[in-house]
Amino acid sequence: MNLNSILVHTHSGLRWVALILIVMTVIRAGNLMSSKENFEFRTKSLALFAMIAMHIQAAIGLVLYVISPTVQFGATTMKDSTLRFFAVEHIAMMLIALVLFTIGYSKSKKKTENRAKYKTVFWFYLIGLLVVLASIPWPFRGLGAGWF
Ligand code: HEM
């Protein structure tokens, strides 16, 4: 196994950790959004771990972007849908999602009211989740990537 394949497998498997943490954060913040409960340690930790998982994915992804043979720049890059996906679409959309999670988390920390904290996390993480789901090279998209 070379570095590239170790990183691809790690990056591929970690998607599930990131997705589960993001979904759990959205559900929890959504449920508590209309309650009077304090913005407690559990939701804050979930939101933080989800954001960290996304940052780890981005860090591994950026290394892959440099070393992976799947990322190629040439005359056909924009014409070939797989090459274009990994050279442009995946990185651009995932960076947008990463910014959404980071802004959502830090904005929620600055809010003073509990409901406003839950609401901020809920909306930023929900939109971030949709961007991530739309930008994963799911096997059914025919981009040559697997489930794990
Ligand atoms: C800025 C952030 C990211 C960058 C630069 C990036 C970069 C890459 C690159 C270059 C590949 C192709 C690897 C190869 O086939 O050799 C890849 C594959 C992949 N990425 Fe990302 N990625 C990022 C974020 C994410 C995130 C947040 C997720 C999911 C939560 C994700 C999920 C995947 C999956 C599932 C694959 C396919 C792996 C496989 O072939 O099985 N990526 N990424």
Q: How far apart are CA 58 and CA 78, in angstroms?
A: 22
pLDDT at residue 34, rounded to an integer: 83
Q: How far apart are CA 103 and CA 107, in angstroms?
A: 6
Domain span at residue 55?
A: 3-137
- 46-92: pLDDT as tens digits: 999 999 999 999 999 999 999 999 999 999 999 999 999 999 999 99
**Is 83 inside any structural domain?**
yes
**Is 143 inside any structural domain?**
no
Q: How many independent structural domains does the chain possess?
A: 1
Alpha carbon dihedral 11, 19, 36, 115, in 10-degree steps, equals 70
**Is 87 inside any structural domain?**
yes
What tokens does 71 get? 């990322």
**Is 142 inside any structural domain?**
no
- 89-114: pLDDT as tens digits: 999 999 999 999 999 999 999 998 88
Distance 50 CA to ligand 1 centre (A): 16
- Ligand 1 atom nearest residue 65's Cα: 10
Mean pLDDT of the chain: 95
Give nearest CA residue, ligand 1 atom 17.
Answer: 61
* pLDDT at residue 27 tops 80: yes
Going from the C-alpha of 33 to that of each of 27, 40, 115, the distances in angstroms are: 10, 12, 5
**Is 64 inside any structural domain?**
yes
**Is 146 inside any structural domain?**
no
Q: How far apart are CA 47 and CA 102, in angstroms?
A: 10
**Is 144 inside any structural domain?**
no
Q: CB-based contacts of 47: which residues, under 8 Å, 6+ apart?
A: 25, 29, 104, 105, 108, 121, 125
Distance 61 CA to ligand 1 centre (A): 5
- Determine whether the shortest distance from the Cβ of 71 to ligand 1 is under 6 A: yes
Give residue for tokens 């939109």: 127
**Is 67 inside any structural domain?**
yes
Give residue for tokens 């939701």: 43
Confidence of residue 134 (pLDDT cuts 50, 70, 90): very high
